[in-house]
């Protein structure tokens, strides 16, 4: 026999089951979307999200498609240089921090060097954010980057 409050507990349990754990990446919150104009890039992002870790196949794909930029991205992730704030994902570069949002970046490489006609070209900051998001290797900060930026 069901008792008073059982419906509430059932609803709470259903909500908890459908809510990702705090360390689990949420697809909707990715600063770098999984789907791209490049089938090859979309494939490695999907494989990475499925595996939840860097696999030799994904590392090979990132290196093959993105070359030195891809390797610098993996290095940045392994060094913990991808930060998630309330408002932005930020990648710590060698001289500055770069905001990555909606698959784009504030760096000069993105602005001046990348061929806009080549769907496989991304700056290493965007690649690092894409990797870190899918394997849960984000240095999370419960604050607004716009507030932190004022101190830098």
For 23-36, what is each residue's pLDDT tens digit?
A: 444 444 789 999 98
pLDDT at 7 over 90: no
Structure tokens at 38: 């490049």
| CA dihedral angle for residue 20, residue 50, residue 23, residue 60, rounded to 10 degrees | -160
Long-range CB contacts (within 8 A, 24+) of 52-61: 52/134, 52/135, 52/136, 53/135, 54/131, 54/135
How confident is the model at residue 17, as a pLDDT? 41
Task: Tell me phi and psi for residue 69, to 5 degrees.
Answer: -60, -40
* Whole-number Cα distances in Å, 16 to 9, 10, 20, 128, 146: 10, 10, 8, 30, 31
How confident is the model at residue 27, as a pLDDT? 45
Looking at the DSSP assignment, which residues form a beta bridge with residue 105?
Answer: 100
> Against a cut of 0.75, is the pTM above it?
yes
What is the distance between the alpha carbons of residues 47 and 49, in angstroms, rounded to a whole number? 6
What is the distance between the alpha carbons of residues 93 and 103, in angstroms, rounded to a whole number? 17
Sign of CA dihedral 69, 72, 77, 81: negative
70-114 pLDDT, tens digit per residue, is 999 999 999 999 999 999 999 999 889 999 998 899 999 999 999
How confident is the model at residue 4, as a pLDDT? 54
Q: Which of 16, 58, 27 is nearest to 136 (CA)?
A: 27
pLDDT at 152 over 90: no
């Amino acid at each position: 026999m069901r008792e008073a409050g059982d419906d509430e507990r059932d609803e709470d349990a259903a909500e908890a089951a459908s809510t990702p754990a705090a360390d689990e990446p949420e697809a909707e919150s990715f600063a770098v979307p999984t789907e791209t104009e490049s089938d090859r890039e979309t494939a490695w992002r999907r494989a990475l999200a499925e595996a939840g870790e860097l696999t030799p196949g994904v590392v090979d794909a990132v290196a093959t498609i993105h070359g030195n930029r891809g390797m610098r991205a993996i290095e940045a992730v392994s060094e913990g240089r991808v930060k998630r704030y309330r408002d932005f994902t930020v990648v710590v570069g060698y001289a500055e921090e770069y905001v990555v949002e909606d698959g784009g970046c504030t760096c000069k490489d993105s602005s001046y060097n990348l061929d806009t006609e080549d769907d496989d070209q991304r700056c290493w900051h965007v690649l690092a954010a894409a990797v870190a998001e899918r394997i849960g290797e984000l240095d999370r900060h419960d604050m607004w980057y716009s507030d932190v930026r004022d101190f830098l």
